């Protein structure tokens, strides 16, 4: 993401093989929270009305479109293959965590609340998300769901847990203790083993950890 003058943010793509660099989509309004998988890109696009909406682009065909047409607010998209998850806030203030399969067009709600905000990560059919309260004192929880089996669970953590990510059967997150110290933890969903990885960095992204 690149800031263009003081007015708005633009998202750029770069092909490491060809060295091509260019804007994902020309717009005079803010673009944020990009996520890429293969040749599919999704991002949060502000419309002229001020409404944030999730857009997508196929880098091979150049096709750009809305993920789901709605009057609701959409943000924080994450994509894996043909599967996308994002946060949506209805006009009545209900916050939902939504899912769409781009190959089939199937959509569903994975979670719903009037008092929390969701941020999710997806890897194939596995979804990990954070639910954080709107008001102080802020609290958060991590949840996991396997879309293939339907199995879901709450990931128990003693402190506030933020910035979750997932790769295969391994999940990672930041944990903030009562002294505002940030530590990075990883859990193996198969063995159940949880361990601290680092106590200095605030955010780390996990991809293809075996």
The CATH number assigned to the domain holding 134 equals 2.120.10.30
Give residues with Cβ within 8 angstroms of 71, minimum separation 6. 51, 91
Model pTM? 0.84
Between the CA of residue 16 and those of 47, 78, 80, 130, 183, what are the distances in Å?
30, 21, 20, 32, 32
Q: Kindly provide the residue ranges of all beta strands, DSSP E only, lying in 69-190, ordered along the sequence.
A: 73-80, 83-89, 95-101, 107-113, 116-123, 126-133, 140-146, 152-155, 160-167, 170-176, 182-188
| Residues with pLDDT less than 70, the chain | 1-7, 135-137, 158, 198-210
Give residue 182's pLDDT: 85
**Is residue 71 one of the residues assigned to a domain?**
yes
**Is residue 206 one of the residues assigned to a domain?**
no
**Is residue 209 one of the residues assigned to a domain?**
no
**Is residue 210 one of the residues assigned to a domain?**
no
- What does the longest C-alpha to C-alpha distance in the chain come to? 50
**Is residue 42 one of the residues assigned to a domain?**
yes
**Is residue 72 one of the residues assigned to a domain?**
yes
Give residue 100's pLDDT: 97
**Is residue 203 one of the residues assigned to a domain?**
no
**Is residue 44 one of the residues assigned to a domain?**
yes
| Residue that is written with structure tokens 């696009």 in the block | 45
Give residue 201's pLDDT: 45
Residue 34 belongs to domain spanning: 2-198
Work out how many domains the chain is built from and give that number.
1
Give residues with Cβ within 8 angstroms of 42, minimum separation 6. 34, 35, 36, 54, 55, 56, 67, 77, 78, 79, 84, 86
| Residue that is written with structure tokens 């944990």 in the block | 175
């Amino acid at each position: 993401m690149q800031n263009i003058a003081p007015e708005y943010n633009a998202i750029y793509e770069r092909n490491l093989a060809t060295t091509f660099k260019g804007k994902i989509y020309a717009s005079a309004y803010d673009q944020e929270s990009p996520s890429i998988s293969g040749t599919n890109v999704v991002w949060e696009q502000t419309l002229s009305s001020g409404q944030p909406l999730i857009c997508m682009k196929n880098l091979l065909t150049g096709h750009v479109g809305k993920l789901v047409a709605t009057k609701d607010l959409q943000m924080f998209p994450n994509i894996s293959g043909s599967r996308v998850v994002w946060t949506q806030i209805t006009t009545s203030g209900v916050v939902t965590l939504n899912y769409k399969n781009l190959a089939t067009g199937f959509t569903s709600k994975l979670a719903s609340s009037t008092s929390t905000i969701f941020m999710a990560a997806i890897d194939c059919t596995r979804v990990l998300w954070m639910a954080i309260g709107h008001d102080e004192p802020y609290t958060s929880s991590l949840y996991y769901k396997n879309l293939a089996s339907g199995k879901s669970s709450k990931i128990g953590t003693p402190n506030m847990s933020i910035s979750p990510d997932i790769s295969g059967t391994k999940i990672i997150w930041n944990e903030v203790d009562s002294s505002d110290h940030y530590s990075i933890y990883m859990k193996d969903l198969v063995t159940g083993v949880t361990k601290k990885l680092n106590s200095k960095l605030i955010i780390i992204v996990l991809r293809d950890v075996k």
